[in-house]
């Protein structure tokens, strides 16, 4: 997590976080009478607000919804806090939860406090020694997969996540769930429709016809890729998996598919938001799959199907911003860029189908 740098951005958070109310709530939770000090906005790759500060000699990071919360923002904060609490005694690298406030009355939204993470986002830039060492970059790619495998090994019932998701028929629901999401974009005036996504129905038919017959439910991150992890500054290992907005109980192999869907593969369909330079040294897709198989009891023989599902799902999610941009409800440049990404994802899916 790093300090935000945008013009005026460093102070705009004050309209969304009342430090006096936050301080009073923290005192009621037993964090002591010392005032909050050194509050600064951190950037974390999402629209949510991340605020770093100190109190009583201890560092905290506050996470809350954006200034104008989305309809599900408060429930998302509660879910994130619940899964971070559940992971406390596992070997999954994650930001350590300190305290959560599900009550919207304190800051107007649900929020939680977590420990700061000492690490860096590889898509923002590689520091030394990572930048100058291909062997370390190779180990970084393997560590990314290790994090997904570790999450998939957690017994979600044993850590208190019963009812956190709906694992029954999870895979069987995916195509219709996201086909319906895509169809809903027709409500956005100016959106040209799904024809702009190459092979969208062919991909859907493939997914329905080739769906794995079963799976073992587990925790999934839901948006697992290089931009949503932080690496340790002194080693290739993960410091934390971050941005848990889409976490649920489902098929953990989808997280591996998500890595492959967004991995740089030389096919011309890379997402420019996930570029890491230099790239030489990072593992191939086949090496990533082999590494996951070494650290998991899950059957990876159908990983192409999970990769295609990840392309389908993420492509439709990104197309939603384009649809809103067509209607004047999101920045035009952002919408156009994400539409290009969606097209690339569907092309990548078609290459997997053959």
What DSSP element (H or E) covers 336? helix 332-353
Contacts of 171 (CB under 8 A, 6+ apart): 211, 212, 215, 250, 251
- The model carries a pTM of 0.93
pLDDT over 70 percentage in the chain: 94
CA gap 138, 134 in Å, rounded: 6
Domain coordinates of the chain in residue numbers? Answer: 2-114, 134-353
Which CATH architecture describes the domain 2-114? 2-Layer Sandwich (3.30)
| pLDDT for the residue numbered 45 | 46
pLDDT digits (tens, 9 = 90+) for 208-228: 999 999 999 999 999 999 999
CA gap 19, 37 in Å, rounded: 10
Are 64 and 73 spatial neighbours (Cβ–Cβ below 8 Å)? no
Contacts of 132 (CB under 8 A, 6+ apart): none
Are 45 and 31 spatial neighbours (Cβ–Cβ below 8 Å)? no
Q: What average pLDDT does the structure give for the chain? A: 93
pLDDT digits (tens, 9 = 90+) for 265-286: 877 667 777 789 999 999 999 9
Written out in words, the top-level CATH class of the domain with range 134-353 is alpha beta
């Amino acid at each position: 997590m790093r300090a935000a740098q945008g013009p005026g951005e460093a102070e705009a958070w004050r309209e969304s976080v009342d430090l006096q109310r936050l301080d009073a709530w923290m005192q009621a939770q037993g964090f002591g009478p010392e005032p909050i000090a050194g509050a600064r906005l951190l950037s974390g790759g999402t629209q949510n607000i991340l605020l770093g500060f100190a109190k009583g000699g201890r560092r905290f990071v506050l996470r809350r919804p954006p200034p104008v919360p989305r309809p599900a923002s408060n429930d998302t904060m509660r879910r994130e806090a619940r899964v971070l609490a559940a992971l406390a005694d596992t070997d999954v690298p994650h930001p350590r939860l300190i305290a959560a406030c599900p009550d919207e009355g304190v800051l107007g939204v649900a929020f939680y406090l977590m420990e700061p993470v000492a690490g860096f986002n590889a898509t923002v830039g590689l520091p030394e020694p990572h930048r100058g060492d291909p062997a370390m970059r190779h180990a970084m790619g393997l560590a990314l997969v290790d994090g997904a495998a570790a999450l998939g090994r957690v017994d979600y019932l044993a850590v208190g996540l019963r009812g956190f998701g709906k694992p029954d028929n999870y895979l069987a629901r995916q195509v219709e769930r996201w086909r319906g999401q895509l169809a809903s974009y027709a409500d956005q005036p100016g959106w040209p429709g799904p024809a702009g996504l190459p092979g969208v129905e062919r991909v859907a038919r493939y997914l329905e016809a080739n769906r794995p017959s079963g799976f073992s439910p587990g925790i999934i991150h839901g948006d697992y890729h290089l931009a949503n992890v932080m690496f340790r500054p002194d080693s290739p290992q993960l410091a934390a998996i971050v941005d848990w907005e889409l976490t649920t109980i489902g098929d953990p192999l989808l997280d591996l598919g998500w890595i492959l869907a967004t991995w740089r593969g030389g096919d011309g369909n890379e997402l420019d938001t996930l570029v890491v330079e230099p790239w030489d040294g990072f593992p191939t897709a086949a090496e990533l799959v082999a590494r996951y198989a070494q650290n998991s009891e899950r059957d990876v023989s159908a990983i192409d199907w999970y990769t295609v599902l990840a392309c389908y799902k993420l492509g439709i999610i990104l197309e939603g911003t384009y649809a809103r941009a067509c209607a004047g409800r999101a920045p035009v440049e952002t919408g156009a860029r994400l539409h290009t990404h969606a097209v690339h994802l569907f092309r990548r899916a078609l290459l997997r189908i053959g």
